Amino acid sequence: MKLTYKWTLWFVLVSLYAAVIGGLFYYNMFKFVFDKKLQNEMVEMVRFRAPLLVSSLSARPRSDATFPEAEVMKAWKRNDDRIKNLVYLNDDGSIRWHEDTQFLRMSYADYNNQVVFDTPVVILAIQDRVPKAIMFDDGNYYDMAIPVLAKDTVAGVVNITVSRKEAKTLIRQSMVRYAVGAFIMILLIGGVLYLFLLLKIIRPLEGLKDSVEAVSLNRLELPYTPRPDEIGDVAASVAALLGRIKEDIKGLENVEIMSLEKEQKWWKTILAVTVPHGARALIIDENNNILYTNFEMNVKKKGPVHLLDIFDGRQQSIIQVVGEALENPTKVLRGSVLSGNVKCTVKAVQLPDDAGKNRMILVLEPEKSL
């Protein structure tokens, strides 16, 4: 399951990274949309009453607000909880309306020195002749200045301090919805990817692993169902490799058989020349299996014939001679043994190691009676 853990970890990390990046993007988008909506609502509120304000400003410029103007200002502040402060100014910056009558007709400079405007937004709005908004108090409020235009000239300015509490609440709710949606989306995508990984990669790999573990020298075949994908290609490559190994083993076995046959012919010739007539000779390999004899063995056994298949464990003398010969290579050692009720002299010699082939010659000569 290591692959599953790695993929899961990478998916979680990438998903978190994407969610954070997306969260920053959507936060700024929500902030722009809801703040822009708040600002537009304030601007439209003033523009809706702009004809009345322009008429009053033209009739009584740089004076106190008329009764209809004052009613409009009071209605705005009374009917909209978002408006925390509202100041109505003439084109020269003097106060035209304020809920505190002591500030009426006060110049912009005097009011700014005494009360202090939150931002220089009024000056910017008069200069550019377009609505302006500046955020202040750690983003809790907007200081907005909306100019009232008369024939492309600024006749007056409505300065509104509006709370962003509602906008911030909407942003927070939208971000919560985004987080929930992103979490659900990650779970859905993660679940689909996990099922895909489990069904299409992990389980096929586990099956391939079990198939490879089932391969042995006795059965060099891969018991794996072919698949039309990359895992199937790997399985096919492993099966092809096993096929080549099988062919190589067959080749080695054939070479070994041919070498053994050649060696047996060689021993036949040697023993025919060197072993006395009537004596029995055995060629023994490193595993004490009989490689060649100059007589016919009456042993019914499949596979290699061991030395003890001919001489049982009761004939300790021959076992002792063979053991001493193994410990003393190239030295001829002698003993006696009964072979078919005939007492024989045993001679054994361990030949020098020849390219990894250990061979021992065992000769049994019948003892002559006196």
Q: What does the block give as tokens for 221?
A: 């075949």
Dihedral of the CA atoms 29, 30, 35, 37 (nearest 10)?
100
Residue 183 lies in a domain: no
123 with 37, same domain? Answer: yes
User: From its phi and psi, is residue 152 left (phi > 0), alpha (psi between -120 and 50) or beta?
Assistant: left
Residue 200 lies in a domain: no
Residue 215 lies in a domain: no
Give the residue among 37, 16, 9 at the shortest CA–CA distance from 179.
Answer: 16
48 with 164, same domain? Answer: yes
Kindly give the confidence (pLDDT) of every residue in the chain, 370 residues in length, as a single tens digit, with 9 standing for 90 and above. Answer: 566 777 788 888 888 888 889 888 888 888 889 999 999 999 999 999 999 999 999 888 888 889 999 999 999 999 999 999 999 999 999 999 999 999 999 999 999 999 889 999 999 999 999 999 999 999 899 999 999 998 889 999 999 999 999 888 888 998 899 899 888 988 888 888 888 877 777 788 778 788 888 777 777 777 777 778 787 788 788 788 877 877 777 777 676 667 777 777 877 777 777 787 778 888 888 788 887 787 777 777 777 777 777 776 556 777 777 888 888 888 888 877 766 677 778 888 888 776 567 888 878 888 765 4
Give the DSSP letter of residue 119. S
117 with 46, same domain? Answer: yes
Helix axes 203-213, 230-274, angle to 10 degrees: 10
Give the residue among 369, 316, 325 at the shortest CA–CA distance from 347.
Answer: 325
Residue 74 lies in a domain: yes
149 with 98, same domain? Answer: yes
- Inter-residue contact 272 to 294 (CB < 8 Å): yes
Its pTM stands at 0.55
Q: Edge-to-edge strand order for the sheet containing 141-150?
A: 95-98, 83-90, 153-163, 141-150, 132-136
- Number of domains making up the chain: 3
Longest Cα pair distance anywhere in the chain, in angstroms? 166
288 with 343, same domain? Answer: yes
User: Is residue 331 exposed (0-12), middle (13-18) or buried (19+ Cβ within 10 Å)?
Assistant: exposed
Give the residue among 234, 228, 194 at the shortest CA–CA distance from 211.
Answer: 234
User: Residue 255 and residue 261: Cα distance in Å, rounded?
Assistant: 10
Give the residue among 325, 354, 329, 361 at the shortest CA–CA distance from 259.
Answer: 354
User: Residue 117 and residue 159: Cα distance in Å, rounded?
Assistant: 10
Domain with 342, as residue range(s), is 275-366
252 with 324, same domain? Answer: no
The CA R_g of the chain, rounded to the nearest whole Å, is 54
Residue 113 lies in a domain: yes
Residue 63 lies in a domain: yes
